[in-house]
Amino acid sequence: MERRLCATGASLELQPQGLCREFNQRQHRPACRREFPHKPRTTDLFLGERNRRQEILPFDVLDERVLRVESVRRPRQAVALKRLKTDYIDLYQIHAADSVTPIEETLRALDTLVSQGKVRYIGCSNWYAWQIMKAIGISEAKNLAKFDTLQAYYSIAGRDLEREIAPLLEDQHTGLLVWSPLAGGLLSGKYSRENQKPEDSRRSAFDFPIVDKERTWRILDVLRPVAQAHEVSVASVALAWVLAKPFVTSVIIGAKRVDQLQQNLSAAELQLTEEEMRRLDEVSALPPEYPGWMIPFQNINRLVDVPRV
């Protein structure tokens, strides 16, 4: 199954057989973007490696909290690419919002990397909706490389992203890569009202990300019978629900054991029925917040929805 990554035409291939979410190399940056020659890569696919000194993730490499123009002119960028054993990076995502460096300066630094051919696509992570839209506006006004993706937290137990960010991503054709789609393991199936701190569980020691626990227990009450009906794990259903959302491009998963990995990967092939999605949507629904409840009220007398271009 292939999903569109962004408006540029790049795509991700969901492969149940492996962890890979590989870029479709047949796609290229559009003519409206700055073109650069593509050199043959020493490795076409880099999954990541981990040791005591460094951690490299598939979508989030060369992470810097402070990214300024002068930082991309240093020789360490070439050293970093050599360490990764690659000639360029498919997707470079900055991991956090920098409250000190102006957004335009960060975008110019990223644009320099794209222009130099070191990076193909860029993205951000854990930004407010207004920050993302401001960055997109600056990129369009200044002819700079534009954010193609957002890496953000989203799960059936934490749907806050649907208020402002998801509509923005759909409107701007920006890809969404979901981190912690199982809410830090809370949706793995081993947690319940009766067993809120199971042994050998990460969340028992580090209660993150923040969720409404009471709502989560109600969600699990619906997830379990759905999982039983499909003869899969609770985690598989929770992941399948996320993947069924049209604004989700892919999910970032983590597993300690092979059986957990197999359960997670099976979600790519799991098709939930309309009734199952309705029940899960209903039990996990967010309480209305302003202006979310005001706008429908003001438009209640509209005869038809008028599409906006």
- pLDDT tens for 105-125 read 999 999 999 999 999 999 999
Q: Read off the amino acid at residue 211.
A: V
- pLDDT tens for 160-191 read 999 999 999 999 999 999 999 999 999 998 88
Q: DSSP of 17-79, one letter per residue? A: TSS-EEE-TT----TTSPP-PPPPPS-S-----B-SS-B--SS--S--SS--GGGGGSTHHHH
Average pLDDT, integer, range 50-75: 45
What's the whole-number average pLDDT of the chain? 80
Report the share of the chain in percent with pLDDT over 90: 56
- pLDDT tens for 254-278 read 888 899 899 899 999 999 999 999 9
Tokens (6 digits) for 147? 């954010």
Euclidean distance between CA atoms 88 and 43, whole angstroms: 10
Query: pLDDT confidence of 72, banded at 50, 70, 90?
Result: low
Upper half-sphere CA count for residue 162 (Cβ side, 13 Å)? 17
Phi and psi at residue 209, in whole multiples of 5°?
Answer: -75, 165
Euclidean distance between CA atoms 226 and 220, whole angstroms: 10
Average pLDDT, integer, range 27-42: 33
- Torsion over CA of 128, 130, 134 and 135, rounded to 10 degrees? 20
Domains and CATH numbers, the chain: 1-153 (no CATH), 177-294 (3.20.20.100)
Name the residue among 232, 131, 219 with its Cα closest to residue 150.
131
- pLDDT tens for 221-241 read 999 999 999 999 999 999 999
Q: How far apart are the first and last CA of the chain?
A: 29
3-state secondary structure of 93: strand
Top-confidence residue, 149 or 197: 149
Beta strands in the chain (DSSP E): 2-4, 11-14, 21-23, 89-94, 119-125, 147-153, 175-179, 250-252
